Amino acid sequence: MSRILNIRLKIVVSLITLVMLMPFISLFLEILNKDAWIFTFTSNKTYLAFLTTIIISIFTLLLNMIFGIPAAYVLSRKKFYGEKIINILIFLPLIIPPFVTSMGIYFTFIKLSLAETILGVVMVHTVQTLPYFIRSVVIGYDTLDETYELVGKFMGANGWQRFTKITLPHIFPSLIAGSSLVIIVSFAQYLTTLIIGGGRIITIPILMFPYISGGDIKVGGVYSLSFIIINLVLIVSLESVVKKIYKENNKG
């Protein structure tokens, strides 16, 4: 009976693995074309799109950290009137379709001269990614006993010392998880970037979509693979940098 169960389990796992790998197998078959690689990486648009996408995702992450960490602290630690309303407002972008959100922001950005600018795209990406970041960091704060922070305060540690020596080490995994989500979601934004950027801000998804939707699937496959690699490299680099800063703070 146990042997039969193990065989069935292996079959199920194999099927799930196959389903998960199918898109990558198809992608690999599509990119086995030298001309597609030459066309992609001899175009200046490719490098400009890569650079623009990375810049937008990095600044989106910085804005998430600036606004998201204090917001997560307040939502986790403080009880105040209207707390439920604030929670709803923060997570509203996940409920409302991106098209509706982007169009409303676009009309506002036109008046503020932020439409068709990188800053405008960064801001709308921040709106779309902030819920993920805040939720991740809130979970980190929720699992940290406030007693540890109070002990640090009684021992004479100031706010920054308590954050770097007590809070940050504990919420570090949540911070990495939230930051990774921000980068992944920011990288994948197509509709919001198209609307706010007005077709002038060219990111990898903007450049890639016409090829995937029928232009040239082989070139689209090369862009897709490059998209995945750059995304992974950026996430790994982020984790390495944050770990280095964390270790240096601990030594200090």
DSSP secondary structure letter of residue 117: S
Burial class (CB in 10 A: 0-12, 13-18, 19+), 219: buried
Amino acid (one-letter) located at 20: M
Q: Contact 181/208 with Cβ under 8 angstroms?
A: no
The DSSP string of 47-71 is: HHHHHHHHHHHHHHHHHHHHHHHHH
Its pTM surpasses 0.85: no
Compute the Cα dihedral for 21, 23, 28, 29 and give only its sign. Answer: positive
What does the pLDDT read at residue 65?
93
Q: What is the pLDDT along the chain (252 residues), one digit of tens a residue?
A: 566 666 667 777 777 777 776 666 666 766 677 788 888 888 888 889 989 998 999 999 999 999 999 988 888 887 777 777 877 777 777 777 777 777 778 888 888 888 889 999 999 999 889 988 998 898 888 888 888 777 777 887 787 878 878 788 788 888 888 888 898 889 888 888 988 988 889 998 888 888 877 767 788 788 888 888 887 887 787 777 767 766 665 565
Compute the Cα dihedral for 224, 196, 113, 94 and give only its sign. Answer: negative
Domain 34-251, CATH homologous superfamily name and number: MetI-like (1.10.3720.10)
Q: Contact 193/203 with Cβ under 8 angstroms?
A: yes
Boundaries of every domain in the chain: 1-30, 34-251
